[in-house]
A and B are shown apart, each in its own frame.
Chain A
Amino acid sequence: MSAPLLAVSDVHISYGKVEAVRSVSLDVSANQIVTIIGANGAGKTTLLNAIMGILPLKGRVTFGGEDMTSFDIEDRVAAGLSLVPEHRELFGTMNVEDNLQLGAFRIAKATAAQSFERVYTLFPRLKERRKQLAGTLSGGEQQMLAMGRALMGAPKLLMLDEPSLGLAPIIVSDIFRTVGELRAAGVSVLLVEQNAQAALKIADHAYVMELGEFVLDGPAAEIATNQQVVASYLGFQHA
């Protein structure tokens, strides 16, 4: 097997004196969906933000074989890493098309046209609403726009932070189907999700995070049947 696309090794992240993430390592290979599951406050969002360069970390992050621990966010974007953050961070007072166009800020104009094509095919709803202000979209459409904006930059790895947060089940299943389609199209996905059931269903590999540490990892199918995981995250009927 070739070297992983994203390799995170021995990462520590602190807020002031409080260490939120301790000694975490993870790999994402090309064409792979990897998920991190865990309770609120376990440090999942913190970890994604640090991989993106929003928070400082101790340790090493390599992407496509290049050490990018000291890169700015913007350089990581240029290298092909993209994050759809928990709060989506859209440009609320700009319309859908402008949001998408800015998603292609780092890439050539010709490529951007193809990206538009691709995003509108994945999310036909966005095409219908292309002149609407992002802030006036429904929650599900905002999530689609956030993912669409990230895809406009033609990333190699897409990191999704709680894409199902606050969305109706029918939209959640749409979003997860799209994630599966992305892998088919050659984009790797690192998915942080509270809806562990749904995440484990589409993922290839899974990590379980508790109090800032990975306590378990393995193929998603195995994790989904692990007694401990079932008890803690997949519903409490067995608790």
Chain B
Amino acid sequence: MTEKWREEKWAEGFWYRGKVSRRRVVGWGGGAIGAMMLVPEPWRAAFGAAKSYKIGSEQPLSGVGAIGGKTALVGLQMAADRINKNGGINGRPVELDVVDDQSSPAVARQKVEKMVQEDGIDAHVGGFLSNICLACMPVFEHAKVVNMISVCLDTTLTTTHCNRESFRVHDYAPAQAKAFGPMLAKLAKNWHIVYADYAWGQSTRDSYADGIKKNGANVVGTTGIPLGTADMTPFLSKISGNIDGIFAILFGKDGVTYGNQAYDLGLTKKYISAGDGAVCESSNMPALGKKINGFIGINRYIPVFQGPLNTPYLHAFFDEAKKRLLKVDPSGPLPDRYVQSNYEAMNALKQAMEASKFEGHADTPKLIEALEGMEMKEGYDFPQGNKTLRKADHQAFLREFLFKIVNDDYQLLQVVAKDKTLVPPACTFSA
């Protein structure tokens, strides 16, 4: 039955005159495959299915950084979904390759090596814990893969440890200190700095001490508190002397402990209370309650819409992020700077990929060229505001928000323009 067609009139010429033989099939088939291989990439892209861009992302989804890592991933996924919904990048969709670094540098290193060498990612957006960002930077450098750092704050990432492949699209302590310094000097003459006693806390302490002194005020003492200290009273009760204000550099659970215990000891009533925005990040606010009222801080993102922050871009970002965060955490946290910086890092990569007509990993030099000095305009891609990615050190400069906590909510005090946060570059790229 199946062979009956060979008997048909129309098939005679085709079948019986020896036109189809095994040799011919192999010959034509081989020729076709060879031709496919020789056809230039743009033609294949034009006629074949659009191959997706593979964007790797290393995040702490378990271990000590898990809460922040899951929040950060919300921002990244949100950006990727939006890009795909709007037609992708250069007409190609984006596919995320997310790995859980388990908050461990050894595990992160192994997984990032696999992502780069085995999975063949085109670029990377991620990194939450600074020690892990630092440990993984050589992998991106050797493999010549662009690495968009999306949360890590350690100053050295874009100073002493900078490399050509890594870019930080959010702020860092020296820029924050420059923005906050003038206000701090006006608020109090003599400051005491309380900081998390490890690398981030120590380097941030130095930046703020510098910022305070440059504006004519003094730092009369510092107190380092080990990470995860449940009872900070022995440290905080020693703070005394000729001081007018306490500046806190703590994050996460330690920020909550500090806020509550400093209030209980009467320090926040006695002295001006200020610090890094990480102390009262939106995820900490429910646990801090009224005790954090009066705190003056700095952050690149706060979930409010006062004055210049009442933009359709920030509203759209907030609404979508809040909806997605609810799925991750049923307590319904508000978006924070980790969501914002991951969202914008992915969009920055998209902008550079489009500008450089990036096709894949081989185009990394073109992509780096597009990223260096790139301007990002306030809009739906960059709701936080305008940004410049400086060529000299791959560090972004952006506007900063100075705020005060009033009635358990953020009250915007001042917006510091990105140009007022500029500090000299301190990076030398290896040849």
- Do the two chains belong together in a single complex? no
Please report B residues at the A interface, Cβ cutoff 8 Å: none
